[in-house]
Structure 1
Amino acid sequence: MAYCIRCGVKLEEGSKACPLCKTPVQLPPGMEESKQQPLFAQKLPSRGLGGVNKTRKGIIELIISLFVISELTVFLSMWLSGNGNQSFIPLFSIAMAALSLILAFSAKPTYTMQASIQCVLVAVYLVGLDASDLRLFWSLIASPALGVGWLYFVYPFTRRAVQKPKKVAGICLLGSLAYLAFINLVLEQGLTWFVPVTLPVIATLLLLLALFSLWFTNRKNKRVPLADVVLATLVVLFGTMTSLDFFLSGYQLGVFTLRWSTGLLGTAVVVLLFLISVSVSRRLRRFFTSHNRHD
């Protein structure tokens, strides 16, 4: 701690002159000013990031203990009752439940991480249940469906996906198409309905979405009313379902016709005409309003 030799005012570290009397600060011969070194040379990590604290470790140890006790109890019960050959499903279920809880307490407490882990565990669980009779059938359809659900409800919220919404939409669409093609291959060992039905319906959906996107983006007023978005969504939905009926009848009957979607098509046309009339009326009102202002 240094003080001014003239007025005795306390000097701050690194001061070159007294703040009161402006007397220059002179260090004694052989004495050099050195900066105070911090106690920890490296920056300490934020509290609570990474690792497993004592509370979580205790919970994980409790889960493991209950898992071992449950497995032994179920196995002995099934074996002593003469049903040892049927013990796979309950033992496997307990193991997957314990693994799910352990990973939930040890992984990062984020939505994307936890949801991804649980999706994988549920897919493995479904495959294990289906494989209890040493063959796979329904799990080949159910497990990939979890992957499609992950694409729609988890992947868009990841750090990289948030910055590229168009890429996310494309990946979700390709994932859905791959899943439908896979189902067709599993059920019928060929792309029997995927090519003549699924691909044209998806093409119709993309065409309608592209038309409405082009229509809304070319407006002078970039702010699209919520009512227009809802009505456009109805047109896209009803139009896609109509195309499904059209192409499905061609696949099943050999004749392209509308069976149950006539009402949907009529509703879509009415809503579309309403949207067009509203858009035209807005343009006319804007045109006459702008001319009146210039006059």
Structure 2
Amino acid sequence: MSASASSPTATSARPPAVSGRGATFGRVIAAEWTKIASLRSSYLLAAGTVAVSGALTYLSANASAGDPGFDPLGSLTSALVLTPVGLLVLGVLVGTGEFSTGTYQSTFTAVPRRLPVLAAQVVVTAAFALLVSLAAVGAAVLGILPAAGSRGIALDLTGEQTMQILAGMVIYPMGMALFGVAIGALLRRPVRAVVTAVTLTLVLPIVLMLAADMATDPMAPSQPGSSPPAQAVVNTAVTFSPSGAGSLLTVPEGTGVEGAPDLGRWGGAGVLGAWILLPLAGAAVRLRTRDAT
């Protein structure tokens, strides 16, 4: 009697069986992809990026179509002043999402090591940004077709230099998206991270160039192939900014900014990579050594 009475107690005290393999990296990636794919803002930013790419390229090509030496391929990159901004903001939203919504508690309970979450955010953001960048490049190509057709110019996108520029047009916005993830994961507050990222990529280069123009005497004689010291310093700073380094991926070799080091495509990719990796490293250290708040 006592044995039969004790069996239910022993059974109820037995811990429940754990099914599945737990939070593997593949499952963390799937969870992060679900998050980015379920947000309406992701698709709004993606649609805006593609629309801006097509519209600005179309306007630029049409404005240049009347020039005697018009080359429609020269307008391909005209929209890159604004098209990376949408993906930059998207990256910030991904990097700050866990902290702005308060879901970091459940996320880091499921993934106590924390770093796989950051790595998964980088992977899914890169994948999403790749799809959006490819669509934006397609929109840019479509944007130059009417102007090319009006001049009877057949487009050739298979040239080596053109292919390199098209590849840079894909990689540059992807890099901006990853930079946004890095800044967002480091700062953890959406407004603060967006302001910081936009300032570094857009505002600061413009302010520096305006300051250099104001400090330069327009009546001072200049020698061919040289630039004023203030302008050279500004051009160097802009070249080493995230947007300046990224833009080097979309220009022909040997066409660097006057007065600044000619980094080339590989140098620009390295500088942009440093802008991504350094904040990511800081975010990783903060995840491991500080509380998730």
Using structure 1 for the length normalisation, give the TM-score: 0.29
Normalized per residue, which structure has more helix?
2
Using structure 2 for the length normalisation, give the TM-score: 0.29
Structure number with greater Rg is: 1
Structure number with the bigger relative contact order (C-alpha 8 A, sep ≥ 6) is 2
